[in-house]
């Protein structure tokens, strides 16, 4: 692997970068969100703890979604709670399109202070991760408890418990001056290749994985967020002593709310007429409120 000049960093802002280390049976993804993140967050006036939570979730959805190779595939991440301040967190990634939303209890959140823990936000919550794979390859879901200090830790648990894939994830979020940046890296050990074979012997103490995990774990919070440091340069810093590191530029990330009058009209057509009648206001209009983009769509009868 040769080092890429850092002056190209803007090329990869808001774009995923995939990398593999063949000799270590390792694959990884790295992403930094800026403009697309601000566009998603701007749809709602979120307080700081919710902004941080959603930003991390959007990074995680992007990292996991970028693992899927087939066009049209989608990853959805949903977190729900039992007696927490957050009622629902949902975000999804599909082919570079990213969206997310958090529903929360304002009064309960205010009681938690400026920097609430994950447990304070969710209580005994759970995280559901759903992969909808295109081209008829199926849909599968894993559910894990929301334990640990971050959503990233819950995602690591998902990969190890549901897919027997040792995984290391690092995320970072910064909000200042009305602008937000979030970034993350996901690294996985795949001793039997990326797909097509069971990985029953994958284990956390595999020597190849231990080596990669130590290198990847040295990544600093500040490096992930540094606008002067390209994604390629981060991979170079971590793994430049390896025999070979292959990289591939992924999708440009955009806010991807797929709402439209045509979409909602098609959805409403699936409801019985009696149900649609109950939805109409006094003017005979059904008003659909999109939680993702905070827009209202009037649908005429």
| Model pLDDT, residue 193 | 52
Is the model's pLDDT at 9 over the cut of 50? Answer: no
Is the model's pLDDT at 292 over the cut of 80? Answer: no
What pTM does this model have? Answer: 0.85
Is the model's pLDDT at 295 over the cut of 90? Answer: no
| 102 neighbors 50 (Cβ within 8 angstroms) | yes
CA separation for the pair 239, 8 (Å, rounded): 19
| Model pLDDT, residue 263 | 74
**Beta bridge mates, 78:** 90, 128
DSSP-derived secondary structure for 51-110: HHHHHHHHHHHHHHHTT--STT-EEEEEEE-BSSSEEEEEEEEETTEEEEEEEE-HHHHH
All domains of the chain, ordered by start, with CATH? 12-255 (3.55.30.10), 261-300 (no CATH)
């Amino acid at each position: 692997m040769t080092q890429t000049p850092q002056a190209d960093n803007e090329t990869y802002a808001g774009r995923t970068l995939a990398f593999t280390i063949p000799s270590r049976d390792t694959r990884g993804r790295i992403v930094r969100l800026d403009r697309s993140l601000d566009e998603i967050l701007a749809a709602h006036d979120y307080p700081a703890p919710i902004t941080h939570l959603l930003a991390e979730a959007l990074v995680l959805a992007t990292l996991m979604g970028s693992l899927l190779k087939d066009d049209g595939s989608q990853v959805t991440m949903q977190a729900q709670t039992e007696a927490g301040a957050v009622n629902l967190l949902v975000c999804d990634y599909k082919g570079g399109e990213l969206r997310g939303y958090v529903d929360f209890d304002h009064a309960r959140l205010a009681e938690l202070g400026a920097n609430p823990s994950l447990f304070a936000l969710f209580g005994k919550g759970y995280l559901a991760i759903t992969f909808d794979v295109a081209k008829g390859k199926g849909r599968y879901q894993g559910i894990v408890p929301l334990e640990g200090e971050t959503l990233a830790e819950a995602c690591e648990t998902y990969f190890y418990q549901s897919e027997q894939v040792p995984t290391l994830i690092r995320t970072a979020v910064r909000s200042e001056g009305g602008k937000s940046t979030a970034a993350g890296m996901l690294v996985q050990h795949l001793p039997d290749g990326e797909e097509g074979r069971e990985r029953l012997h994958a284990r956390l103490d595999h020597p190849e994985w231990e080596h990669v995990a130590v290198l990847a774990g040295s990544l600093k919070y500040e490096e992930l967020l540094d606008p002067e440091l390209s994604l390629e340069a981060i991979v170079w810093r971590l793994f430049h002593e390896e025999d070979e590191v292959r990289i591939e530029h992924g999708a440009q990330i955009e806010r991807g709310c797929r709402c439209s009058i045509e979409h909602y009209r098609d959805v409403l057509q699936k409801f019985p007429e009696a149900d649609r009648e109950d939805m109409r206001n006094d003017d005979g209009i059904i008003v659909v409120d999109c939680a993702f983009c905070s827009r209202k769509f009037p649908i005429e009868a």
